[in-house]
Amino acid sequence: MNYTVPRLQKGDTVGLVALSSRVEPEKLGAAIAFLEKLGLHAIVGDTIQGRHRYFAGSDEERLADLHAMIRRPEVKAIFCVRGGYGAARLADKIDYGLLAEHPKIFWGFSDVTYLHCAIQKYANIVTFHGPMLMTSTPLDELSKKMFGQLFMPMEIQYTEAISPLTAIANGVARGQLVGGNLSRLVNTLGTKFDIQTEGKILLIEDIAEPIPRIDVMLQQLKQARKLEQLAGVVIGSFTQIEADEEALHALMAEYFANLGIPVVAGFQIGHSTPNIAIPLGVDALLDAQQKVLKILPGVH
């Protein structure tokens, strides 16, 4: 299990960075206002204004922004404000020892999945899979509520009170919760950041990937032997896939139903509204019969 990170206190300073695609800084006002409502003081990294091809600054500029936020002792959390592509280009240049010495909340999802894998492996700290602060639509109330887990250690219990859940395969499993965006998890294969799945509960989610493409990615995970020793599977949001839920569940069953582990689909985790934020790298319990996912706190 990875180490939990220090919780936030009202009045704390947090940093906003763009480690992937470039952003529209004029749209940052809502994000800053939300953080201020939480009692936090937000500082804006250089990458928010950064421009380099389709990135929020060059690799060197984005890396420098991340390192600056890690080094600043007053910065207690780092929020990635948007995804896209570019995080993987930084992974082999990040000073993970620096982050391990100065552990702090690291938050984001989608393209940031690559860095979740890297940070958990080389800095050995919990990270947070949660909605970006710059979104095309305002954050809904439930997604906003999930930021509360950063201020107080709390166990997250996801049941059908949040969304309908479907058991693809029955069983109960305990294990470390890992994963995130399926495309980016597959991108880690064959690298020193490749997703570690042995004995783990794997979360997968994605957006705008048709069923054949999802099949390709699951097949690659299978042939990379990442499915052989899983403890369980949490299937998050698969949105804009141009197929119905039945087709998605049939594909998931083909890959996961005969592994003898619990597999549950329908979690609003990922590219969805709400987008339920969860810590990665902590122990979790997945019970397919009761349709519940319990996750230990990510902060202390």
* Residue 204 contacts residue 179 (beta carbons within 8 Å): yes
| Distance of alpha carbon 85 from alpha carbon 228, whole angstroms | 29
> What are 16's strand-pairing partners?
44, 79
Q: Is the dihedral of CA 62, 63, 68, 69 positive or negative?
A: positive
Place of tokens 């004995």: 199
* Residue 188 contacts residue 181 (beta carbons within 8 Å): no
Residues classed as catalytic: 110, 205, 271
> What are 43's strand-pairing partners?
15
Dihedral angle over CA of 186, 175, 278, 149, nearest 10:
-150
